[in-house]
Homo-oligomer: A and B are copies of this chain.
Amino acid sequence: MTNSPTLKEVAQRAGVHVTTASRALNPATSSLVNPATMRRVQAAARELRYQPNAMARGLKTARSMSVGVLIPDLTNPLFPPIVRGIEDVLAAAGYTTLIANTDNDPDRQVKLFDTLRARQVDGLVVATAHREDGLFIDAHRAGTRIVLVNRRVDHSDIPSVTGDDHDGIAMAVRHLIDLGHTRIAHVAGPQDTSTGRGRLRAYRQALDDAGMTLDPGLVVAAKGFTELEGARATRAMLDAGKVPTAVVAANDMIALGCLDVFGERRLRCPQHISLVGFNDMPFIDRLTPPLSTVRVPHYQIGAEAARMLLDRFGNPDLPTKSITLPATLVLRESTAPPSR
């Protein structure tokens, strides 16, 4: 951006040494400087619209005051609220957020991770972790500050903030049972993610708790949390002759895919078949029909993760913790008693 004024110029204008100017402008050290000179320096800084050069400062202090955020894809409406939560908390603390889209591509993820390292980010918020993600396990072990959001890594003590998957699914299944459903299917998510796996387990357990036996044909797994994959998996189930009266989708994107297939097969929702999603992502309430789903407080997840990261900056030896935020069942119009 052309030529930013430097501290030296501010100092000259104020008639003091660079060091003094530095001290005057730095809240932490400004108490050591004469109020009068302080005012002069601040005036000069204001007049020149001085902004300290973050790169120079970072080089000296070995802190970039920036945090990297790894997400699969910003255009998936699930993530912007999380990112906003992160940004709002971080910005208030003076940190800048660097967002990187991995597109679920491991190579890309490594590359982006390295770019972020090159930029000397002080820490990372990661929404793309897989259950056995060597990249983050190693980095965490090596001392990189990482907080996981949404998904966890198996057998690892990387701190994390997630929604209550287990309880969310339990409520969804319970709700369908209460409506009278007995053939409840699950279109699961990818099993190499903690969310995909955890929600499937929760579904199994919920049926078990209700004393219902599970029909393995009513469980299919999507290979990604996408509409297309949700549709593919649902089609596979239906094509195998398994027609449930209700479906619990592993997330809202997958539920969208279910809905697409219901349309193809002339299955009206909720008259012929009920559907529950997961996440309550933006705009899912305006679908036809408005989707019943499990709400997870995404903004708070992001905000909490950022706070956790900041805490760890302050005290690097803080014990690892994992926060689970409560889920809520949001009933709209995609669920109804089974038709006979």
- Assuming the contacts A84-B74, A144-B1, asked whether A120 and B54 have C-beta atoms less than 8 A apart, the reply is yes
* Cβ–Cβ contact A282 & B4, under 8 A: no
Chain B, residue nearest A286 (CB) = B287
Q: What CA separation (Å) do A42 and B193 show in the bound complex?
A: 35
In the complex, identify which listed stretch (A92-100, A172-180, A234-242) lies at the interface while the others stay far away.
Answer: A92-100
Q: A195-224 toward B: CB 8 Å interface, digit per residue (1/0)?
A: 000000000000000000000000000000
Query: How many chain-A residues does the 8 Å CB contact rule pick out?
Result: 48
Verify if A335 is at the interface (C-beta below 8 Å from B): no
Q: A250-291 toward B: CB 8 Å interface, digit per residue (1/0)?
A: 000000100000000000000000000000001100111000
* Cβ–Cβ contact B96 & A97, under 8 A: no
A-B residue pairs in contact (CB < 8 Å), sample of 12: A1-B139, A1-B145, A49-B114, A53-B59, A53-B120, A54-B118, A54-B120, A55-B56, A74-B87, A75-B84, A98-B98, A287-B288
Please give, as numbers and ranges, the residues of chain B lying within 8 Å of A99 by CB-CB distance. 87, 97, 99
* Cβ–Cβ contact A1 & B120, under 8 A: yes
Please give, as numbers and ranges, the residues of chain B lying within 8 Å of A286 by CB-CB distance. 256, 283, 286-288
Best-surrounded residue of A66, A81, A118, A123 (most CB of chain B within 10 A): A118
Q: What CA separation (Å) do A241 and B309 show in the bound complex?
A: 55
